[in-house]
Amino acid sequence: MQLRNRVLLTSYTENNTKVSLSINPYTPGNNQFQISYSDSNGNPVDIRSVQLRYTQTEKGIGPITVDANKISKGIFSS
Protein backbone atom coordinates (compact mmCIF):
# COMPACT_ATOMS: atom_id res chain seq x y z
CA MET A 1 0.00 0.00 0.00
CA GLN A 2 1.43 3.40 -0.93
CA LEU A 3 0.28 6.47 0.98
CA ARG A 4 1.55 9.88 -0.16
CA ASN A 5 5.18 9.02 -0.82
CA ARG A 6 5.20 6.32 1.84
CA VAL A 7 4.88 2.58 1.47
CA LEU A 8 3.56 0.13 4.07
CA LEU A 9 4.10 -3.61 3.64
CA THR A 10 2.71 -6.23 6.03
CA SER A 11 3.26 -9.97 6.26
CA TYR A 12 2.76 -12.72 8.83
CA THR A 13 5.26 -15.26 10.11
CA GLU A 14 4.50 -18.93 10.72
CA ASN A 15 3.55 -18.21 14.36
CA ASN A 16 1.11 -15.42 13.36
CA THR A 17 3.46 -12.59 14.28
CA LYS A 18 2.59 -9.56 12.17
CA VAL A 19 5.61 -7.85 10.60
CA SER A 20 5.11 -4.37 9.12
CA LEU A 21 7.64 -2.35 7.14
CA SER A 22 7.10 1.35 6.54
CA ILE A 23 9.36 3.25 4.11
CA ASN A 24 9.14 7.04 4.18
CA PRO A 25 9.28 9.07 1.93
CA TYR A 26 9.78 6.16 -0.54
CA THR A 27 11.65 8.27 -3.07
CA PRO A 28 15.22 8.10 -4.41
CA GLY A 29 17.72 9.23 -1.79
CA ASN A 30 17.54 8.88 1.98
CA ASN A 31 14.53 7.04 3.39
CA GLN A 32 13.41 6.12 6.89
CA PHE A 33 12.61 2.45 7.47
CA GLN A 34 10.45 1.36 10.40
CA ILE A 35 9.88 -2.30 11.18
CA SER A 36 7.31 -3.39 13.76
CA TYR A 37 6.36 -6.78 15.18
CA SER A 38 3.05 -7.56 16.90
CA ASP A 39 1.13 -10.65 17.98
CA SER A 40 -2.36 -11.64 16.85
CA ASN A 41 -3.85 -9.34 19.52
CA GLY A 42 -1.87 -6.32 18.30
CA ASN A 43 0.57 -6.36 21.23
CA PRO A 44 4.25 -5.63 20.48
CA VAL A 45 6.50 -8.69 20.31
CA ASP A 46 9.88 -8.45 22.04
CA ILE A 47 12.45 -8.96 19.27
CA ARG A 48 16.14 -8.85 20.16
CA SER A 49 17.50 -7.38 16.93
CA VAL A 50 16.65 -6.65 13.30
CA GLN A 51 18.87 -6.38 10.24
CA LEU A 52 17.97 -4.86 6.89
CA ARG A 53 19.65 -5.97 3.70
CA TYR A 54 19.75 -3.45 0.85
CA THR A 55 20.42 -4.48 -2.75
CA GLN A 56 20.20 -2.60 -6.03
CA THR A 57 20.75 -5.35 -8.56
CA GLU A 58 20.46 -3.07 -11.61
CA LYS A 59 23.60 -1.20 -10.50
CA GLY A 60 25.41 -4.16 -8.96
CA ILE A 61 25.18 -2.71 -5.44
CA GLY A 62 24.92 -4.91 -2.37
CA PRO A 63 23.85 -6.65 -0.50
CA ILE A 64 24.55 -4.14 2.26
CA THR A 65 23.47 -5.27 5.74
CA VAL A 66 22.49 -2.68 8.37
CA ASP A 67 21.52 -3.22 12.02
CA ALA A 68 18.26 -1.41 12.78
CA ASN A 69 17.97 0.62 16.01
CA LYS A 70 15.50 -0.60 18.62
CA ILE A 71 13.01 2.23 19.30
CA SER A 72 10.80 0.33 21.73
CA LYS A 73 9.45 -3.18 22.28
CA GLY A 74 8.77 -4.62 18.82
CA ILE A 75 9.70 -1.44 16.89
CA PHE A 76 12.94 -0.80 15.01
CA SER A 77 14.15 2.00 12.77
CA SER A 78 16.92 2.49 10.25
> Which 3-state string (H, E, C) describes 13-53?
CCCCCEEEEEEECCCCCCCEEEEEEECCCCCECCCCCCEEE
The predicted-structure confidence for 26-65, as pLDDT tens digits, reads as follows 888 889 999 999 998 999 999 999 999 989 899 999 999 9
pLDDT at residue 3, rounded to an integer: 57
pLDDT at residue 16, rounded to an integer: 86
pLDDT at residue 1, rounded to an integer: 57
Model pTM? 0.82
pLDDT at residue 34, rounded to an integer: 96
pLDDT at residue 68, rounded to an integer: 97
